Amino acid sequence: MVFPEWLAEPGLNHFLVVSAILFSLGLLAVISRRNIIMVLMGIELILNSANLNFVAFSRYGALSLEGHMIALFVIIIAAAEAAIALAIALNIYNRFGSVDVEQISELKE
Amino acid sequence: MDLFAIAFYVFAILIVGSAALMVFSKNIVHSAFALMFTLAGVAVFYALLHAGFVAVTQLLVYVGGILVLLLFGVMLTTRGSFMDVKTRSVNLLPSTFFVAIVGGLLIFVFVSTDWILLPLTEDQVSLPGLGELLMTDFMLPFQVAGVLLLLSIIGAVLMAVRKKTLKPGTQ
């Protein structure tokens, strides 16, 4: 069994393609799912794909350890964002009785 | 095929497959567990890219923290029995079409661009370098991130436990 040459040795492009697929799936979760928790999970996928790009470029490209640092800061901010977003989702559930994003269409006067 | 290639393809299939399962699964608890496999696979990718510290942080923060938080969110925002945690999707066909176009475009750009590649360096422990960067070039972002985490903890606690209690006299 013979593999094509570009398939045999994973390089930068392979990681970039995986991250592009992850980004697309996260975008799909954000725009097609209606549960607010699912939208959050999609955002986590998108952040992970961006992180994967940073780390891949710091391995193969000219971005040295700075790529790792940026990935770490993205992880930190994702943690803060998840905590805040979950608190907001709980508040929305208490007020509207649902976490369907299409039913959340009212503002306080 | 060497071990690196085999590990790459196995975990690439794991990542993409469980991400697809997460997006298309109707049951949100299944989605959360599929997301766990995706995040763990991405941590393995970081390890394959010689970013050991980022991989460990990914495991600790994402798999250990954010995922548990998401599961708590699922449990706290679900009514009645836990078995029918169904969610709905809207416009699945057009959005899949749109996302396929976006993904194809991204992959085309990634593959067709002539990236400037450096020769691969030997594996080295990145932890001292990271600590040094954190204390020199990234000092301000480091401190700001600490303040941000503190603020987000306080804000999340305040928002989550707020009760509808009227202060006396405000009516």
State the average pLDDT over residues B21-36: 90
Cα B152 from Cα B84, distance rounded (Å): 32
pLDDT tens for residues A79-106? 999 999 989 888 888 888 888 888 878 7
| Domain chopping of chain A, boundaries | 12-96
Together in a domain, B81 and B141:
no
Containing structural domain, residue B158: 125-163
Residue B171 binned pLDDT confidence (cut-offs 50, 70, 90) = very low
The one-letter code for the residue type at A31 is: I
The type of residue at B84 is D
Q: Do both B75 and B146 map to the same domain?
A: no
B-chain residues within 8 Å CB-CB of A76?
Answer: 61, 145, 148-149
Find which of B15, B124, B130 to mutate to test the A interface (most A CBs within 10 Å of its CB). B15
Does B112 map to a domain?
no
* A12-96 is classed CATH 1.10.287.3510: yes
For chain B, percent of residues with pLDDT exceeding 70: 86
pLDDT digits (tens, 9 = 90+) for B95-104: 999 999 999 9
Contacts for A98 with CB less than 8 Å, ≥ 6 apart = A104
**DSSP summary character for residue B66:** I
